[in-house]
Structure 1
Amino acid sequence: MNGLNARSRSRNNETQLENSNFVDMKSGETNGNSNSPESLISSKMHWWYEDRSSVLLLLFLYILQGIPLGLAGSIPMLLAAKSIDYKQQALFSFVFWPFSIKLLWAPLVDGAYIQNFGRRKTWLVPTQYVIGIIMMILSFKLDSILGGSEPDVWKLTVCFFILNFCAATQDIAVDGWALTMLSKKNVGLASTCNSVGQTAGYFLGYVVFLALESADFCNKYLRFVPQEVGLINLAGFMYFWAIVFFITTTLVMLFKSETTENHSDDSSNGVVSTYKLLFKIICLPNVLQYVVILLTAKIGFASESIVALKLIECGIHKETLALLAIPLTPLQIALPLVIAKYTSGPRPLDIFLKAVRYRLIFTVWFAAVIYWTPSFKQADGSFPYYYFGIILVTYFIHQVALYSMFVSVMAFNAKISDPKIGGTYMTLLNTVANLGGTWPSTLALWYVGALTTTNCVGGTSNLANCDKESKAVCESSGGTCVTTIDGFYIECAICLVLGVFWLIWKSGTVRRLQNMGLDRWRCPT
């Protein structure tokens, strides 16, 4: 669940642009009868029809971008089934960092290119080939890396970090290419292609893969004769998408040209000047204080990153958790539109501060849900439907608080960004906000194991502690490893205290920054 949230990224709202284009179309005369239903429908379809090939290409490129993200989100679920400790889960969580720090190399991708090959293809083609090559290699090596009781998490982390690094680089290139690939009046469709395409790709790599990989799901819903394996495995899934990456990248390289596109608004300030501009922005006193707020605001909910893994530990099937993401998708699409009207005023961060309080309540509620989950488990190992109803309602309400924070921050970022320097200002703030949610999650996963105490109970062994290395000794002596202190609950308590402290410490600063005039946020250029 949190994987989906952790990878939600802001885009400019294109609604006004699309609506204004549609109004202009309707006001024109068509066949002498501008008021006829036929002419209105024709005009409405025509405004994007001329860019249909570009829209479809962008949509497909964003789908490809979402595939490695979805697969990276599914790996922790597979590792949890192999009793991997939380420190190794924390190590793997670094694969999600590239999208949080891509601003570090974005100016390079935007400003360095081979003119004859194409500004965006210079980076798009190599990165997609690298993704395909790594997927192809992994499809043959996964049995040795992921198989057995001791998966090589380090190799998995390196491979998926490179995959997501390439996906983030591809995202930078495609975002820039969309500005020239689409006609000027339809450039607002870029964000739509991004949100729809990346969500679809993540859905394929996460929900669809986990469902089809599960023998239980396939036997229950897709087969007449039960089998011990699912319809697909990770190696076969990655092999298929490696072929797709090779074929589509080759077709784009050979047949898609950038020379015929509209480059009237495609200006570059140069790599060095862009880095200098970023440095100037972040050195502004108000921006520096705001960056500290963005980097620390989510420390109170860091334990949320462990909830899904704890549910699997309690006996919930990983494919069941993946399927619960399906009804959340329409909510995630609708919530920004609903919340936007409450954050469009002069004080959008008021919603942010209120949402922080509600998410701190969820820190306690998630701990209670995990604590009570074993009591819902039935004799056959399954859980009643009303339990999943509780989980679904919990996540629904949680999404409201999460997106309230997200939308209010994006609204404030848009409000204070200096329009003279384009999107550089807002991109910096959005990247910092993303990083502010990534590092607490990794830290929480890293230390939850160290805060957990497990003892060997019964048997002939004299072991006082029952860590991963001594578990086999305990069980061979007839004992059982029992968790006496669960680090998850300790982290929930620590996060709650830190979150309350953050509210006391930074609420006044948030309100003060919100009330400052826009001239205090302008960057000297």
Structure 2
Amino acid sequence: MVNADHAMASSMETVEILPRTPITARTARTVRDPEDWPTDSAAENDEVEMSLLGDEERRRAAVGTNGLGDGRGVGEKSREGRPLSSKDKNAMALLILLYLIQGVPLGLALGSMPFLLREHLSYSQLGVFSLASYPYSLKLLWSPIVDSIFLPSVGRRKSWIIPMQIVIGSIMLYISFFSLELLENPAENVYHLTALFLSLVIMSATQDIAVDGWALTLLSQDNLSYASTCQTIGLNTGFFASFTVFLAFNSEAFAERWGIPRLMLGTYLRFWSVVCYLVTIWLLFFKKEATDMNIKSVYKNIWDICKLKHVQSMLIMHLFAKIGFQANEAVTQLKMVEKGLGREDLAIAVLIDFPFQIVGGWLAARWATPDKPLRPWLYAFWPRLGFALISTLIVYWFPNPPISPAFFVFLVVHTVLQSFSSTIQFVGISAFHTRISDPLIGGTYMTLLNTFTNLGGTWPRYFVLKGVDMFTVATCRVQEAGEELALKGTFHFTAECVSEQGKARCADVGGECITEQDGYYLVSAICIVFGVLFFVFYIAPTARRLQALPVARWRVALR
């Protein structure tokens, strides 16, 4: 969750940084929840000392404040009846475009490639490839560098966005020339493929940091929540293009059915590398922005933020919140394809689902009110856990191909509702992050919050994929001299009958692989049970307490 750093461009020539919350009076401490009172040693961290703001900005920040730190900025009112300005529209358009570029390599690394490789690799080997997605969840480690080091002549955010997009385009161009060779025998090239896509994800994550920080200053204060909507539209569109569209047009059956040429990975990557270069050239010569920050102070500020007790509570919540959905998100679709669902059918299901994701993102941004920004995130939790259970049952009772039109319609409806709940959660938590982040260190603050959100969905994936193979028991049955021999194999044994290579070896000796126990069901059950218990006893009470805190409590004295 990806998480993420929002970037939007507007037509204005300079960017003025304004505080999104008023300076809180010291007397405001008397109205805080007693259980959240800081100790004397932590009190200094809870003061909102916008020392880097000018006198005029301080005056604006103080206007209209009621001393409670309620998170409302100057003249901030309900968005109802307020049309988007042309500046905000231009900014949103650029944000969507930058997130689109980000979503393309992520859609390949997290979507299409596992499907293409599953035909030749075991789930354990796919677990190795899944390590390529980890940098997107670890970008906090270098976000202060992105927030503070830049070329003034280029701009604070552009100094990183431009080179990252050039590298992204170049890596995609390189892969395009060697894609056939790499995919001919992926078992031997799994580490090379992992390294290439790891590099792509690192560059995308770095671009994401800069884009997130830029978004906080590009959008007007009244429309900051639309940053998460832009991220949803841009990332989903890029992911959709690299996952759904590419898988459909890459399918031989789809190409034959519609009488069109098959889209190869190399051609697809070359197209997007050109798009990446063109957008980068436009940014370099036609978009201006500027500001500065000391790198040492940013690292100190992020450490001060991490020491806040309520921030620590939220980070724990994020780190384990997505375990309940992990078996569903990492394995279910692979299992459906394994049981006979055509990749082109899956692509069509996701194609129908795409517009619902966009609508869901827009509605969630409207639903996430300033006083209850986490409401969409919390409400969508139960549906997502329920859909994870339904998905497991669908795999268990998956019909023999060809599947009937009625069952395919059921799959489409299930996919739409499942992704709709996921989109609502994503936009809800992103709106909350945008609300509490300090725009003066926007890229780093947003990255801190989004890092743990993304990490919660990334770190379990490797263990889930490993667990599926580990708990799977398969038997290679061979007829020899009139007797049936059973060569059992699991993840632990060399005579395994789990991966495609193991199945091929079994076929070479005239045998047939029989799965006695599919580890997917056990891993899915463990994830869902943990998700229910963690939500009831930790997530729900913690989230309600956190969203009730005034925005001032999320700020520290900037160094």
TM-score (normalised: structure 1): 0.78
- Displacement of 1:179: 6.5
CA deviations 1:226-279 (Å, max 9, x no partner) are xxxx432112222333344345534644x3363xx5x5xx4x332221121111
Residue 314 (structure 2) pairs with residue 290 (structure 1): yes
Aligned to 2:388: 363
Check conservation: 1:348, 1:409, Cα contact below 8 A: yes
CA 256–85 in structure 1, closer or farther in 2 if over 3 Å, else same: same
Aligned to 1:478: 510
* Cα distance in structure 2, aligned partners of 1:330 and 1:308: 20
Secondary structure of 1:383's counterpart equals coil
Residue 118 (structure 2) pairs with residue 98 (structure 1): no
Farther-moved stretch of structure 1 (453-462 vs 184-193): 184-193
* Cα distance in structure 2, aligned partners of 1:433 and 1:412: 12
CA 152–524 in structure 1, closer or farther in 2 if over 3 Å, else same: same
Structure 1: where are the runs of 5+ without partners?
1-5, 23-43, 224-229
* Cα distance in structure 2, aligned partners of 1:412 and 1:124: 24
Residue 107 (structure 2) pairs with residue 70 (structure 1): yes
Structure 2 counterparts to residues 77-476 of structure 1, below 5 A: 77-80=115-118, 82-148=119-185, 150=187, 152-176=189-213, 194-223=231-260, 230-250=261-281, 252-253=283-284, 255-256=285-286, 258=288, 261=289, 263=290, 266=291, 268-304=292-328, 305-339=330-364, 343-344=368-369, 352=377, 355-373=380-398, 375-377=399-401, 382-410=402-430, 412-413=432-433, 425-460=445-480, 463-465=487-489, 466-467=496-497, 468=499, 470-476=502-508
Check conservation: 1:91, 1:446, Cα contact below 8 A: no
Secondary structure of 1:249's counterpart equals helix
- Partner letter of residue 238 of structure 1? L
- Displacement of 1:98: 3.0
CA 155–415 in structure 1, closer or farther in 2 if over 3 Å, else same: same
- Displacement of 1:516: 6.0
CA 361–424 in structure 1, closer or farther in 2 if over 3 Å, else same: same
CA deviations 1:423-474 (Å, max 9, x no partner) are 7545422332222122222321122111111111232356232434654443
Check conservation: 1:455, 1:482, Cα contact below 8 A: yes
Secondary structure of 1:272's counterpart equals helix
Match of 2:521 among 482, 489, 502: 489
* Cα distance in structure 1, aligned partners of 2:228 and 2:540: 34
* Cα distance in structure 2, aligned partners of 1:504 and 1:56: 39
* Cα distance in structure 2, aligned partners of 1:123 and 1:301: 33
Secondary structure of 1:163's counterpart equals helix
- Partner letter of residue 242 of structure 1? S
TM-score (normalised: structure 2): 0.74
CA 56–402 in structure 1, closer or farther in 2 if over 3 Å, else same: closer
- Partner letter of residue 452 of structure 2? V
Check conservation: 1:280, 1:523, Cα contact below 8 A: no
* Cα distance in structure 2, aligned partners of 1:191 and 1:300: 23
Check conservation: 2:7, 2:95, Cα contact below 8 A: no
- Displacement of 1:182: 8.0
CA 389–16 in structure 1, closer or farther in 2 if over 3 Å, else same: farther
Check conservation: 1:376, 1:387, Cα contact below 8 A: no
CA 421–114 in structure 1, closer or farther in 2 if over 3 Å, else same: closer
CA 300–197 in structure 1, closer or farther in 2 if over 3 Å, else same: closer
* Cα distance in structure 2, aligned partners of 1:421 and 1:246: 28
CA deviations 1:109-158 (Å, max 9, x no partner) are 22112233443443233222222222222122222211147352211111
Q: CA RMSD in A?
A: 3.8
Farther-moved stretch of structure 1 (455-464 vs 209-218): 455-464
- Partner letter of residue 473 of structure 2? T
Secondary structure of 1:458's counterpart equals strand
* Cα distance in structure 2, aligned partners of 1:152 and 1:363: 32
CA 79–151 in structure 1, closer or farther in 2 if over 3 Å, else same: farther
* Cα distance in structure 1, aligned partners of 2:369 and 2:222: 24
CA deviations 1:335-392 (Å, max 9, x no partner) are 244456665375665765554344333332111100111x242xxxx22211111111
- RCO greater where, 1 or 2, for CA within 8 Å and sep 6 or more? 2
* Cα distance in structure 2, aligned partners of 1:112 and 1:324: 44
CA 153–423 in structure 1, closer or farther in 2 if over 3 Å, else same: closer
Check conservation: 1:120, 1:173, Cα contact below 8 A: yes
CA 149–428 in structure 1, closer or farther in 2 if over 3 Å, else same: closer
